Amino acid sequence: MATWRKALVIGSLTAGALMLIKGHRPAGIVLATVGLAVLATEYPEKFETIWEQAPEYVYRGTQIFSTLSRIAERFADQVSERGLREAIHEAGPEYAR
Protein backbone atom coordinates (compact mmCIF):
# COMPACT_ATOMS: atom_id res chain seq x y z
CA MET A 1 0.00 0.00 0.00
CA ALA A 2 1.31 3.42 -0.92
CA THR A 3 2.36 5.75 1.86
CA TRP A 4 -0.34 8.30 1.05
CA ARG A 5 -3.01 5.59 1.25
CA LYS A 6 -1.74 4.45 4.63
CA ALA A 7 -1.84 8.04 5.84
CA LEU A 8 -5.36 8.50 4.46
CA VAL A 9 -6.65 5.30 6.09
CA ILE A 10 -5.03 5.93 9.47
CA GLY A 11 -5.95 9.62 9.47
CA SER A 12 -9.57 9.16 8.49
CA LEU A 13 -10.16 6.26 10.90
CA THR A 14 -8.53 8.17 13.75
CA ALA A 15 -10.42 11.36 12.97
CA GLY A 16 -13.65 9.38 12.63
CA ALA A 17 -13.14 7.74 16.01
CA LEU A 18 -12.40 11.09 17.63
CA MET A 19 -15.49 12.65 16.06
CA LEU A 20 -17.64 9.78 17.32
CA ILE A 21 -16.18 10.14 20.81
CA LYS A 22 -16.78 13.90 20.76
CA GLY A 23 -20.42 13.37 19.77
CA HIS A 24 -20.23 14.40 16.13
CA ARG A 25 -21.72 11.16 14.87
CA PRO A 26 -22.46 11.98 11.20
CA ALA A 27 -18.98 13.39 10.58
CA GLY A 28 -17.37 10.48 12.42
CA ILE A 29 -19.25 7.93 10.34
CA VAL A 30 -18.30 9.68 7.09
CA LEU A 31 -14.62 9.83 8.00
CA ALA A 32 -14.51 6.21 9.15
CA THR A 33 -16.32 5.13 5.97
CA VAL A 34 -13.72 6.87 3.81
CA GLY A 35 -10.91 5.07 5.61
CA LEU A 36 -12.64 1.71 5.35
CA ALA A 37 -13.46 2.24 1.66
CA VAL A 38 -9.82 2.94 0.81
CA LEU A 39 -8.76 -0.07 2.86
CA ALA A 40 -11.36 -2.27 1.12
CA THR A 41 -10.11 -1.27 -2.32
CA GLU A 42 -6.60 -2.27 -1.30
CA TYR A 43 -7.56 -5.63 0.25
CA PRO A 44 -10.89 -6.78 -1.26
CA GLU A 45 -10.38 -10.48 -0.47
CA LYS A 46 -9.84 -9.76 3.23
CA PHE A 47 -13.00 -7.67 3.39
CA GLU A 48 -14.97 -10.40 1.66
CA THR A 49 -13.83 -12.87 4.33
CA ILE A 50 -14.75 -10.43 7.11
CA TRP A 51 -18.15 -9.80 5.50
CA GLU A 52 -18.87 -13.53 5.38
CA GLN A 53 -17.91 -13.92 9.05
CA ALA A 54 -19.77 -10.79 10.21
CA PRO A 55 -22.69 -12.68 11.84
CA GLU A 56 -20.24 -14.58 14.06
CA TYR A 57 -18.47 -11.34 15.01
CA VAL A 58 -21.78 -9.70 15.89
CA TYR A 59 -22.86 -12.71 17.95
CA ARG A 60 -19.59 -12.82 19.89
CA GLY A 61 -19.63 -9.05 20.42
CA THR A 62 -23.15 -9.29 21.78
CA GLN A 63 -22.08 -12.06 24.17
CA ILE A 64 -19.14 -10.00 25.43
CA PHE A 65 -21.30 -6.90 25.89
CA SER A 66 -23.94 -8.94 27.74
CA THR A 67 -21.35 -10.43 30.08
CA LEU A 68 -19.81 -7.03 30.81
CA SER A 69 -23.26 -5.59 31.49
CA ARG A 70 -24.01 -8.35 34.01
CA ILE A 71 -20.65 -7.82 35.73
CA ALA A 72 -21.27 -4.07 35.95
CA GLU A 73 -24.78 -4.64 37.28
CA ARG A 74 -23.55 -7.05 39.92
CA PHE A 75 -20.77 -4.68 40.95
CA ALA A 76 -23.24 -1.79 41.23
CA ASP A 77 -25.47 -3.93 43.46
CA GLN A 78 -22.52 -4.77 45.69
CA VAL A 79 -21.55 -1.11 45.92
CA SER A 80 -25.07 -0.12 46.96
CA GLU A 81 -25.21 -2.91 49.57
CA ARG A 82 -21.72 -2.78 51.05
CA GLY A 83 -20.07 0.40 49.83
CA LEU A 84 -17.39 0.98 47.23
CA ARG A 85 -14.37 -0.06 49.29
CA GLU A 86 -15.88 -3.40 50.32
CA ALA A 87 -17.17 -4.11 46.81
CA ILE A 88 -13.73 -3.50 45.29
CA HIS A 89 -12.10 -5.66 47.95
CA GLU A 90 -14.56 -8.49 47.30
CA ALA A 91 -14.49 -8.20 43.49
CA GLY A 92 -10.70 -8.06 43.18
CA PRO A 93 -9.91 -11.76 43.64
CA GLU A 94 -13.07 -12.85 41.81
CA TYR A 95 -12.33 -11.03 38.54
CA ALA A 96 -8.52 -11.23 38.66
CA ARG A 97 -8.48 -14.92 37.75
Domain map of the chain by residue range?
Answer: 1-42, 44-97
User: Which amino acid makes up residue 60?
Assistant: R
Tens digit of pLDDT for each residue in 37-96? 999 999 999 989 988 999 999 999 999 999 999 988 988 888 888 888 887 777 766 666
Residue 97: predicted pLDDT: 58
- Non-local (6+) Cβ contacts of 40 within 8 A are 47
Question: Is the pTM here over 0.75, yes or no?
Answer: no
Secondary element (H or E) of residue 53: helix 44-82
